[in-house]
Homo-oligomer: A and B are copies of this chain.
């Protein structure tokens, strides 16, 4: 059949590469699913921690703080690199 029925267009449709487009959609949705799975795992861990008697809110704060510390450190290092580069002190890194 040269003209696929409704619900599944395989060639160009209105000048659009339908297959290509569908492929993008599927790849993205597949990854989004994976991501959601992981997010659920994280949630489970928080739940488990709570069940063990830990305060979830505090735990979240620890995770958050650690993350921002890492980011600050990263920013710091980048600045350092920048300055060293500007000063010709690359050997210092």
- Which residues of A are at the interface with B, using a C-beta cutoff of 8 A? 6-9, 13-14, 16-18, 20-22, 24-25, 27-29, 31-32, 34-35, 38-39, 41-42, 45-46, 48-49, 52, 54-55, 57-59, 61-63, 65-67, 70, 73, 76-77, 79-80, 82-93
Establish whether residues B16 and A83, one from each chain, have CB atoms under 8 Å apart when the complex forms: yes
Chain B: minimal CB distance from A74 (Å) = 8
Q: Write the chain B residue with the least CB distance to A90.
A: B6
- Oligomer: number of copies: 4
* Given contact pairs A32-B42, A38-B34, A41-B31, A59 touches B24 in the complex (Cβ within 8 A): yes
* Given contact pairs A35-B35, A35-B38, A45-B27, A22 touches B87 in the complex (Cβ within 8 A): yes
